[in-house]
Structure 1
Amino acid sequence: MPSCSLSSIAAAAVALPLVRLASAHGYVSGVSVNGGSVIEGTNPNWYYLPEGQVPETPGWRALNQDNGFVEPNAFGTSDIACHKSATPGPAYIDANPGDTLTLYWNTWPESHHGPVLNYLASCSGECTSASAGSLSFTKISEGGLLSGSNPGTWASDTLIAQGFSSDVRIPSNLAPGNYVLRHEIIALHSAGNPNGAQAYPQCLNVRVGGSGSSRLPSGTPATQLYSANDPGIIFSLYRQFSSYPIPGPSVWTG
């Protein structure tokens, strides 16, 4: 499957209309493997490109042209898998067990403190023809509260400090196959109120090579990852606290 570099979409970008996206939120615009060249992820503005002009990249496309989020009241729908009405990208990121993927957000606001979570789902066949509702996810890493309170320092703050980037390591003995990487920030700045948390799931297709032997467990359907009433979903940043219950299943150690 082809991949697409940041520079290779320059011509297509010229054709984009001037669309005002919400400046406060972001998306995963690219990814690199072990610090190599950046592969284009996705761009909500591609929604406005004529048919046939959308770059072939591994990032899943979604109807989030406002750079919006998935609200807790929608956690029971397939939107929570890879964002609103997401469809798979037509390409893959090629990686091996133990490789580090660096995911680059185009931006992220300082006020949107919260955890950063990473999941993998094994595809039955090609991820490029998968549906969001068919995927079951296994959590492979997570970061939440780092220190302090009211509001404290969070994994999202580390992402900002690293130039809007976040690293995730492919499990060291993962069996070869086609996978969907689900990378997510949950913004908690309004989470003190019911339905106030903001989930920003981003998905990319990953083709894992090598000779690993560990297969993912059965995983959790996206619609069962979180409940709107989970203590890590309803959580007030603007008070004194000493811990944070990261939502979702436990991290798989492989």
Structure 2
Amino acid sequence: MPSFSTIAALSLPLVQLASAHGHVAGIKVNQGAWIQGADPNWFYQPQGSVPETPGWQALNQDNGFVSPDAFSTADIACHKSAKPGKKYIEANGGDTLTLYWNTWPDSHKGPVINYLAKCNGECTSASSGGLSFTKISEAGYLSGNNPGTWVTDTLIAQNFTSDVKIPSGLAPGNYVLRHEIIALHGAGSKNGAQAYPQCLNIKVGGSGSKSLPSGTPGSSLYTSTDNGIIFSLYSAFNSYPIPGPAVWSG
């Protein structure tokens, strides 16, 4: 399989490379077979004309973001006007999912945050506004300042990939993984942070017995004035408060 850096270079005009954002183009479970993610350009395509995937489709043809003034809407859950994926990633508690972004700009430094929501029935017919999310992992600032080194730099260095572990012992069922990057290059100003939520359906198997806590609706995860949503990347600092609820100890 070609590297995503190669794909990005071949598929985007040079004038776009400096400003291109990204989306989750594919997934592997425990470094197994490639699973196709959602392509934003499929959003308006007739049903049956594009592959069915676990990735949620969104009104996101520019690989764009959800801004803080929309954090109180359902758009922040799984991106703008999100429609559920039609298939599932099959995994067990303790498995590691590797998420492959098609590209990511090095200027867009910030945290990578992962949440799970239990579906009431099939995730393939769920509504993003009806999901409640539990944070299962997070990473952000690593070292330095102005702007410093961040987990997004690690993602780029690892061929645009990010790993997330399904909590060990998680009870079987249908879940939505909410995988998100928050870019902070404009976050020193009001409404300047950029959220890039990506949702994928997961069917968890195995014999685990741990249930997720009740969780938080997407529209209540953040406010536009939270620490970590407003943050001056181009200043002196030695820490960063990752926004949202605490990570579930599980």
| TM-score normalised by L of structure 1 | 0.91
Which residue number in structure 1 is paired with residue 6 of structure 2? none
Matched, 1:143 2:111: no
The CA deviation string for residues 4-51 of structure 1, in whole angstroms up to 9 with x for no partner, is xx9xxxxxxxxxxxxx98851000000000001110011011125344
CA–CA distance in structure 2, aligned partners of residues 43 and 51 of structure 1 = 14
Matched residue, 1:24: 20
CA deviation string 1:65-104 (max 9, x = no partner) = 1111000000000000000000101000000010000000
Instruction: Compute the RMSD of aligned alpha carbons.
Output: 1.7
Q: Which amino acid letter does the alignment assign opposite residue 253 of structure 1?
A: S
Candidates 169, 174, 181, aligned match of 2:177: 181
What is residue 15 of structure 1 aligned with on the other side? Answer: none
- Matched residue type, 1:246: I
Give distance in 2, aligned partners of 1:33 and 1:66: 28
1:122 CA drift (Å): 0.2
Does the 8 A contact of 1:83 with 1:200 survive in 2? yes
Give the alignment of 1:159-178 within 5 angstroms. Answer: 159-178=155-174
Structure 1 residue matching 2:43: 3-state secondary structure: helix
Q: Is the 8 A contact 1:21 1:66 kept in 2?
A: no
Deviation at 1:52, TM superposition (A): 1.9
Map 1:1-254 → 2, pairs under 5 A: 24-254=20-250
Alignment deviations for residues 186-218 of structure 1 (CA, whole Å, 9 cap, x no partner): 000000000000000000000000000100000
Counterpart position of 1:14:
none
The percentage of aligned residue pairs carrying the same residue is 73
3-state DSSP of counterpart to 1:108: coil
Distance in structure 2 (CA, Å) of the matches to 1:164 and 1:33: 16
* Cα displacement (A) at 1:225: 0.3
Partners of 2:115 and 2:44 in 1: how far apart? 29
CA distance in 2, matches of 1:134, 1:241: 37
Task: Spell out structure 1 runs of 4+ moving beyond 4 A.
Answer: 20-23
Q: How many residue pairs get matched?
A: 238
